[in-house]
Structures are given as structure tokens and as C-alpha cells.
Amino acid sequence: MEQGSRYGPPIERKADGTLYEMTPVQQKQAAKIIQKYCSNYGRGNCLLLEDGDERVCPQLISYAVGCRWFRNALLPVFPKLEAEIFKDIALRRCVKCGTGFVPHSNRGKYCPVCAAAVRRASDRERKRKKRHTVRI
């Protein structure tokens, strides 16, 4: 069994031993994330793989999730993309706007943006009722 290295635990695999695959849309999102946030990315090359020669970042040209750094350092920061790729993480639809999101609890109904708006609206309504019942 493969041991983890200094770059984190080994890449997860499906039950049949194959790597998790991304759709073309997910791969495009992953490429943007790598180009913007990966500390090992430099002008299209992977700095971890350099041994004197420039090596193309394998995660940019592959649909399989095969880079440990991408999997363990970057994907957890983007839980929606992680949930879409690995599908074992529950992805729910927002009741208000319909976008997918990863809930923080089993009671989550709204995406973070809509949750803030719904919370403000309920606070407004609660305070309005409270002011209405106050007698002078």
C-alpha cells in the first residue's frame, strides 16, 4: 500500500482502483484554480516535478485527479467543486436560488449568500413584530 509523503496522503481511488475523473467543465474550473492559487505552478509548469527540465503540470492536461498537492491543499478550499468531483460529499440545492452548495449541517437549506439574506429578512420581521406589540 502506498504511503503518504511530504505532500500529503495518497490520492483517493474508487473501489475498482481507478482515479476519480472530472468532467470538461470541472477540469476547466480546476485549471483556473491551479493557475491562480497553486504555489507549485509557474508559467504552465509544475515546480515539484522539475529536475532541471521544465515539466508541464499534469493536473492541467488530465481529467483524472492525480496531483496530491491539488487534492489535499487546493480542493478543500473549494468544497462545491470537491463535492461534484468526489460525489460522496452531499451536495444540496438552495431552496431560494437553486444553486448547489455543501451544507455545514444536516439542517442547511440555503446557500451561504441566500442564508444571509433569509437571516436578515427574518430578523427584520421579528423586530417589526416586536415593535408593533410595544405599547406606549
What pLDDT, on a 0 to 100 scale, did the predictor assign at position 88?
64
Query: Helices (H) and strands (E) in the chain — how many of each?
Result: 5, 4
Whether residue 105 contacts residue 118, with contact meaning beta carbons closer than 8 Å, is answered with no
52 vs 105, residue with greater confidence: 105
Average pLDDT over residues 72-97: 84
If DSSP codes are grouped into helix, strand and coil, which group holds residue 46?
strand
- pLDDT tens per residue across span 82-94: 888 887 666 788 8
